[in-house]
Structure 1
Amino acid sequence: MTLSQQLLEEQEIAYEAEEGQYTEEIDRLETLPLAFEDGSWSVEDVEWIVRWKSSRSIGYFERNGPEEVKHLVDDALSANSVSEKVNILTRLDGVQVRMASAILLFVNPDRFTVLDWRAWDVLHENGYLPDEMPDDPSVEDYLLYLGVCWAIANEYDVSLRTLDMALWALGGDE
């Protein structure tokens, strides 16, 4: 398969049909960036993101105290670099690099995308990424992935979120 603007836009529609939380996801993508920007976000908002990305992680995430979540997320929001943001978020129980990328998506969907094995596989199979995704991706792996996604979104004139949804849909079954 060759990526194209048409294919990516068609697969965004397929994502909507496949993803059970699509409506709430879209609602959260419209409200959470502003909440993170103005400081009105809640620990429950972050818990929702954790469940959205991987419900298996919620038990680990719930080990964090609300003050710790507030403190570390605020620190990540004020950090200057992507790697610093990810490193801070991964200090939370239940948050590894992939989960940190999901939190960042809801902070700014125009700048961040979710590190996901389905999407990574599509990019690897199409020659955009040299290797398969590691079992435990590093911050550097996310930076590579994010840079590739920025370039592809720019090349095919689609939003980063459209690309993310399309790659997830193209990645097939979990």
Structure 2
Amino acid sequence: MELSESAVRDRAREYAASEPLYDVERQHVETVAKTFAGDEYGRRDAQWIVRWYFRRYLGAYPDGARREREEAFRDTDFGDVADALDVAVEAVGAADDATGERAETDDRDIDSALAALTELGGVDVAVASAFLQFLAPERFVAVDPRTWRVLVAAGDLDGDYPDPPSVADYRRFDAACRAVMARTGAEAWTLYRALWRSFAKSADDREVPDGK
């Protein structure tokens, strides 16, 4: 499997044409960063990202594990959620209203965002990376067994998917994603769609994630 520029673009387009959640995902890609950079958002806005992480498997993710995570996040004090989001928004760099450009994010920024988000109930590094993906969709890709395995199959990453991933694991994954983005000229949201679609094209339909 090769993640060439044409392959990434083609598979991202296939994702848009075939994935039932694409339209609502696209809407959130366009709105989440601005929503969380302001003060007028509620628990449901944050819950959507946690739910998305598990429900995009369309029933393949073990229901008990999904419910446990979602309920743990739901039961977290909303003030703590807002505080963590403030840290994450600041760490990844809010886009300038005039230029739309975002400050470069380094490893310390990633560590800061992940540290704040993983203090929340139901949020580990993998789920926290979903917040990063929607807070800065041109920069970050959410890590999961599928995206990880496609990068390994393409030769851009090595090792089995860590269960669960640590901050250091996410840094390795992020570095691999950035290398592919630099090579192909694709933004992270395009790459995410290409990775997810690549797994769908190559994986055994009977394979399901481990629920962790």
Scaled by the length of structure 2, what TM-score is found? 0.77
d(CA) in 2 for partners of 1:105, 1:39? 20
- The one-character-per-residue Cα deviations of 1:78-127 (angstroms, maximum 9, x if unpaired) are 34610111011000011001100001111111221111211110111122
| Aligned-CA RMSD value | 1.6
- The one-character-per-residue Cα deviations of 1:117-160 (angstroms, maximum 9, x if unpaired) are 11110111122112011111001111111111111111011111
Q: Are 2:87 and 1:75 equivalent residues in the alignment?
A: yes
Q: Map residues 129-148 of structure 1 onto 2, 5 A cutoff.
A: 129-148=157-176
TM-superposed CA distance for 1:43, in Å, is 2.0
Q: Map residues 9-158 of structure 1 onto 2, 5 A cutoff.
A: 9-55=9-55, 56=66, 57-79=69-91, 81-158=109-186
Other structure's SS at 2:41 match: coil
The one-letter amino acid paired with 2:41 is W
Q: How many positions carry a matched residue from both structures?
A: 174
**Equivalence for 1:159:** 187
Contact 1:124 1:130 in 2 (8 A): yes
From the superposition, tell whether residues 39 and 154 of structure 1 become closer, same or farther in structure 2 (CA, over 3 Å).
farther
Contact 1:15 1:165 in 2 (8 A): yes
TM-superposed CA distance for 1:77, in Å, is 2.4
d(CA) in 2 for partners of 1:7, 1:101? 24
Other structure's SS at 1:81 match: helix
Unmatched runs of 5 consecutive residues or more in structure 2? 56-65, 92-107
TM-superposed CA distance for 1:162, in Å, is 0.7
Identity of aligned residues (%): 34
Contact 2:37 2:86 in 1 (8 A): no
Unmatched runs of 5 consecutive residues or more in structure 1? none
Structure with the higher fraction of residues in helix conformation: 1
d(CA) in 2 for partners of 1:60, 1:17? 33
